[in-house]
Structure 1
């Protein structure tokens, strides 16, 4: 059965790699191609990603504390057996000294293994914190883009209102524009659904 340590490692690496690729390519491309899209949904996806990453960091930090405690306990055991070895040798009790040395060597190997595990946890914490920084930065960018889109729409709405009085004769053209706008909304909604499915994978 996979250990929690291994599962956390796999989760962190996968989360970091997959979402970093999305942040570096798909989001920028999507926002560039669809500046008029309502992007509150993307902001919510990033908010959820930020929350998940914070939880992951907290769990990894808990694992790091447990690992440190285990290393300390192992070090204390090594010290205890080292003292016993010296006492046995001084008393010329090789029947006790030799197995005690084997026990000390096993504890040293265990300590080295635990130290390596702790270093791996530290590395994953560092990766998760870097991911968190990227998510927070991109979320700010999405929120700024949403504010810009909203401001642009308000300006366009005002311009349409100002020109409505003398533009009534272009009813056919206006109808065509409405159809074009309806298609754009449908196309961008479809693209948003694809992105949300990709995020959910």
Structure 2
């Protein structure tokens, strides 16, 4: 069973890379961030507070009931909610077993799994066969997210809002007490600031194939 761990901050390209690697190797793929987004969205829809442990834990206990393809999971407001619930240790513990079971027993009888998130190589799958940490400067990541949401027609103030939100999320993710965002000591670092996804994909393949 082969496990590939892809970590990195928001809008770094880790999800796109993970999907391409999963397709290339015919492995199962899990966007672990979607689990936290599902918890955050559930809290918001229930009228709760994303920084309240009881509200977040209740939502985490029902994460299997959430449709992980719901388009609302991809909004910036849901992303911000996910970052807040992810800082709660009890929520992380509830989702830990789900993620580890996915890696150990990939659905569909697949021969391997690719998991992307913020603590895959450090906490979820520290024994992963391959670990890659994707990063890019925050301005580049904000521009990517801006183009993804608004295309070329977005207003400058919308870019500034996204940039501020990403900086806030980076600060929260890197400084939280529970599984802070950081590269595993044995992870390969890939900076995507000046690279397109195909170049990053080819570099990742070369690292994995050795």
Global fold match (TM > 0.5): no
The alignment's TM-score, normalised by the length of structure 2, stands at 0.25
The alignment's TM-score, normalised by the length of structure 1, stands at 0.25
Higher helix share: 1
Higher Rg of the two aligned structures: 1
Higher strand share: 2
